[in-house]
Amino acid sequence: MITNDAHCHFFSRPFFERLLDDLLRTGCRPPAEGRGIPEVIGWEDPGSPEQLADRWVTELDRHHVTRAVLIASAPGDEASVAAAVARHPSRVAGAFMLDASAADASARAARAFSDMGLRMACLFPAMHHYRLDDERVGQVFEAAKAQHGVVFAHCGVLTIGVRKKLGLPSLFDLRLGDPLALAATAARFPEVPVIVPHFGAGFFREALMAVEACPTIHLDTSSSNGWIKYYPGLTLIDVFRRALEIAGPSRLLFGTDSSFFPRGWQKPVYEAQAAALDAIGADAASRAAIFGGTFDRLFAPGTGASRPGG
């Protein structure tokens, strides 16, 4: 069975430079001279984008993962992940964080999709303070529609572990990550596939409602899904069972939310999700779609085209 990972973060040097800027801007103590943020928190320095791309592909090979989406995880860092795609086009689909409230958001999205070969715009409304039914989000969808791109929208709980490690505040407004607001926008763009990560990250009920209301919305299964603690008695097995009942396997994508080295690719996340599918008796066709087939439909190898429906 092919395994593709729809959710990995590409923590490049510009990502760490942005963190350093935030430390200086907020008055937090920066690392001592000569020490970078990766060294301070026990992570590997990423090197150049090409070196980080090679590191990722070596890691994917080690775990027999065929392809992965790598997300440039700071606004404005499209070039880093574009370099990774150029270096390993058969292994990497590129995604980029986009602040939809920025004045140049739609132009950046159009350039990333067309000139840079990236496949997915990633929206974090709680971080950047806009609603998912805002017309500026519609403009991002317009850019995705024009270039056969995908839109990812983080809903629900949002935490960034590296910011906590550095003592940086995270002034997120979780009310803005509403899957139902996303569905209102997505319904206007039936050509654009949409991905909500982490089963809605705490807005599970709303994510399922959005999936049922809008056939282009997909759910990624990534991370340890710690949001389950907000639903007494709910288990990962229950989550997969209900998601399969409503979304079906063709609108679920396996992901890990892997991010930094030396930790690397998160095999325990894969094992937990595979065990949950075993527990509900998921058939081979369903597992093939979740772990690889849906990914290859949305991020077809060798082309910028994607197909929204299941």
This prediction's pTM = 0.95
User: Quick check: is 258 in a domain?
Assistant: yes
Q: Name the one residue in this structure whose structure tokens are 């949409």.
A: 194
- CATH number, domain of 23, equals 3.20.20.140
Confidence band for 92, pLDDT divided at 50, 70 and 90: very high
User: Quick check: is 310 in a domain?
Assistant: no
In the chain, the number of structural domains is 1
Confidence band for 27, pLDDT divided at 50, 70 and 90: confident
User: Quick check: is 271 in a domain?
Assistant: yes
- The radius of gyration computed from the CA coordinates of the chain, to the nearest angstrom, equals 18
User: Quick check: is 305 in a domain?
Assistant: no
User: Quick check: is 55 in a domain?
Assistant: yes
Average pLDDT over residues 246-257: 98
Handedness of CA 45, 50, 51, 52 (dihedral sign): positive
User: Quick check: is 252 in a domain?
Assistant: yes
Q: pLDDT tens, 232-241?
A: 999 999 999 9
User: Quick check: is 247 in a domain?
Assistant: yes
Q: pLDDT tens, 104-136?
A: 999 999 999 999 999 999 999 999 999 999 999
Identify whether the C-beta of residue 37 lies closer than 8 Å to the C-beta of residue 166: yes
* Residue 292: partners with Cβ closer than 8 Å, 6 or more residues away: 1, 2, 3, 4, 66, 254
Q: Which domain holds residue 287?
A: 4-298
What amino acid occupies position 248? Answer: G
Tell me the DSSP string of 145-200. Answer: HHTT-EEEE--S----HHHHHHT------GGG--HHHHHHHHTT-TTS-EEEGGGG
150-153 sheet: strands from edge to edge: 4-10, 67-72, 92-98, 120-123, 150-153, 194-196, 217-220, 252-253
CA distance 205 to 219: 12
User: Quick check: is 308 in a domain?
Assistant: no
